Amino acid sequence: MENIWTKHYQNGVPFKIDELMEKYQSVADVLDESFKDYSQRPAFHCMGKSLTYSEIDLLSRKFASYLQHQVGLRKGDRVAIMLPNILQYPVALFGILRAGMVVVNVNPLYTARELEHQLKDSGAKTIIIFESACHTLEAILSKTEVKHVITTSIGGMLGFPKSLLVDLVIKHVKKMVPAWKIDKAISFSQALRIGDEATFLKPSIAQSDIAFLQYTGGTTGVAKGAILTHKNIVANICQARAWLSPILVKGEEIIISPLPLYHIFSLTVSCVFATVGGVNVLVTNPRDLPGFIKELKKWKFTVITGVNTLFNGLLNNPKFKEVDFSSTKICLGGGMAVQKAVAERWQSVTGKVLIEAYGLTETSPAACINPLDIKAFNGFIGLPISSTDVVIKDDDGKTLEVGATGEICIKGPQVMPGYWQRDDETAKVMTADGFFKSGDIGVMNNDGFIKIVDRKKDMILVSGFNVYPNEIEDVVSQHPKVFEVAAVGVADEKTTEAIKLFVVKKDPTLTAEELVAFCRENLTNYKVPKLVEFRTELPKSNVGKILRKDLRV
């Protein structure tokens, strides 16, 4: 298919990023450049404490040295990080990458079963973990190959006396640290003291070397490790930086990061802004909306990222209207579909367009982004970014014409080579002509803008008609008495499946009859929900994505 989308790129955005990529062999090369160019600039900030680029440089070298000489790890060994958004995360992350080792990001809220699977599957030999999760690790440690455990606390790098106060509250007031005992565990601060910057041995890293095993698919079955090479990550950093180039000012950007860094969306965005000397404000607990809003009010931030549920939660807090958006250039939504009602209200309250982007773990993640100069939310996930081809294919692998609905398929330097030790799973998602099959149903218009219809696996079959939950949810979310909604299919003798709504009320007077009547006004008859269940909350992933699978049980 002809690249019809490039004619709608903003001025200054290149069609290809080949020349940019030639500068770097690895993510470590990208980091070294930032450490040199922005040494005295603050790099990461969390809970009142900042670390400069030079401090991150020094500390990550020490940590890399510790892994090399004290732990005895070698290039290519896997190291797990099980941390929330705290300052220890970038230090550990950059240290592992600079040592040529492989980062295995782990959700800090994993159960023992989930943690055991990921550690065993990845073959991780070392883990950096915060104390609140140590009891989970203790339960399954003997079943894994992990021989070295490095522990830390939430307040571990906040400096005295704040670190002491924060940890006292977490342990003894909020009681968030269950008892644990792991023999020979060492603290993160001890590891940094032992690590000697002078002995760090910089390895030779090739673009084809693995940077991350980023696990995905846990919501649909056993989690698989997407192999993301240094080339994949460097490419996506260059692609995103090129897309943002019309408005970025080196050394002046301030980005708010409420999404967990272990998630690929937040991870790559944070790396992108590190390459332009940005200050990354880490939000440890965005679910504490009052605390999150209090932090937002401290900053003249230029960028904020999030998911639809987070934006919706902020909008429904009365204090949010007090946040100053006068310096904000980018409000970026990803991770799940942005709903029209949320986007329109966001623009009304903040004066800023909520720009939707699209990607997957397997694409490092960015594949499509809307131009930054759009005047309002457009309902599209954007245009394929530089050096990226996107086509729509049918179930037989045939590329469809513009305007036809089918599976979104992606090709580019950011696409993973495959799943870790799962050639069979890799074969299922790669086409004969080299495209990655996203599992998302979408359509491309004549200008190259792409709209997601829904996830292929979430499609509901009603009397032979395909019904997509995203469309139902988008309509229902526009009802003024609805706070959150999810739509799923349930078995039905007459229609194969019937549509069921799960709704959290904004207004307690809302009734099921009122909702169904609203749907009849806005949807074709077969798309109208048959069942409505009200709940006080909906199940969500740790990123905030509503889990339809948990509602289908």
User: What pLDDT, on a 0 to 100 scale, did the predictor assign at position 463?
Assistant: 81
Q: Enumerate helices (H) and strands (E) in the chain, giving the number of each.
A: 17, 26
Whether 435 is in a domain gets the answer no
Whether 212 is in a domain gets the answer no
The CATH number given to whatever domain includes residue 141 is 3.40.50.980
Whether 537 is in a domain gets the answer yes
Could you say which of 151, 173, 205 is where a domain stops?
A: 205
Whether 332 is in a domain gets the answer no
Rg value, the chain, Cα: 23
Closest by CA to 258, choosing from 309, 184, 216, is: 309
Structural domain that includes position 540: 459-551
How far apart are the C-alpha atoms of 265 and 461, rounded to whole Å? 31
User: What pLDDT, on a 0 to 100 scale, did the predictor assign at position 217?
Assistant: 67
Whether 296 is in a domain gets the answer no
Report whether 245 contacts 35 (CB < 8 A): no
Could you say which of 172, 205, 238 is where a domain stops?
A: 205
The CATH number given to whatever domain includes residue 513 is 3.30.300.30
Could you say which of 183, 205, 227 is where a domain stops?
A: 205
Whether 131 is in a domain gets the answer yes
State how beta strands 383-384 and 366-369 pair: antiparallel
* Cα angle: 464, vertex 468, 469; to 5 degrees: 130
Report whether 225 contacts 419 (CB < 8 A): yes
Mean pLDDT by 10 residues, the chain (553 residues): 89 94 95 97 98 98 97 97 98 98 94 92 98 97 98 96 95 94 96 89 97 76 88 98 96 96 94 97 96 98 95 96 98 90 97 96 97 96 98 95 96 98 95 94 96 87 84 94 96 88 98 96 90 96 90 85
Whether 317 is in a domain gets the answer no
How far apart are the C-alpha atoms of 472 and 486, rounded to whole Å? 8
Decide: helix, strand or coil at residue 136.
helix
Closest by CA to 243, choosing from 368, 408, 391, is: 368
Report whether 506 contacts 483 (CB < 8 A): yes
How far apart are the C-alpha atoms of 103 and 84, rounded to whole Å? 15
How far apart are the C-alpha atoms of 268 and 273, rounded to whole Å? 9
Supply φ then ψ for residue 230, to 5 degrees: -60, -35
Whether 288 is in a domain gets the answer no
User: What pLDDT, on a 0 to 100 scale, did the predictor assign at position 218?
Assistant: 43
Residue 318's contacts (CB-CB under 8 Å, 6 or more residues apart) are none
Indicate the number of domains in the chain: 2
